[in-house]
Copies of this chain bind each other. A is one copy, B any other.
């Protein structure tokens, strides 16, 4: 992707580029681990989850008895909880990478909805029967690269 030309000072200047919504959603669709942020009543918290993209929404699964579901269910007001979902990829060697942030409301899925959405494969296995859908109200992203 990015050309290596570290012997020229000017090319060492990193470029921070805003990504448009379409590119952001494409990058999110290519990943499998993201991070859900929400307020669990004791301030902001962040939990990694496996996910799948379903149209303009993000589906993620967690354990019914786990802390994510307990916290999210506690935080749900009027059927949904405000949440942010972040996916990124960084290259430590090149000091480059990208990140996408999806903000919106998350709501728990009914069994009927679960059967209709893109399935999610949770790495930890076991009971992951609490499914959520985050609707992308706001999508933003940035890429850091060397020209």
Residues of A within 8 A of B (CB): 5, 13-14, 16, 32-33, 35, 37-39, 42-48, 82-84, 86, 88, 90, 92, 95-97, 99, 101, 103, 123-126, 144
Q: Which of B99, B124, B144 contacts A14 (CB 8 A)?
A: B124
Copies of this chain held together in the complex: 2
Do most interface residues of chain A lie in helix, strand or loop, or is the interface mixed?
strand
Q: Which of B43, B48, B97, B144 contacts A88 (CB 8 A)?
A: B48
**A37 and B48 contacting across the interface, CB-CB below 8 Å:** no
Check A96/B123 contact, CB under 8 A, given A44-B37, A44-B39, A46-B101: yes
Q: State how many angstroms separate the Cβ of A100 from the closest Cβ of chain B.
A: 10
What are 17 contact pairs spanning A and B, CB under 8 A? A5-B126, A14-B125, A32-B92, A33-B92, A35-B86, A37-B45, A37-B46, A37-B84, A42-B103, A43-B103, A45-B103, A46-B86, A46-B101, A48-B90, A48-B99, A95-B123, A96-B123
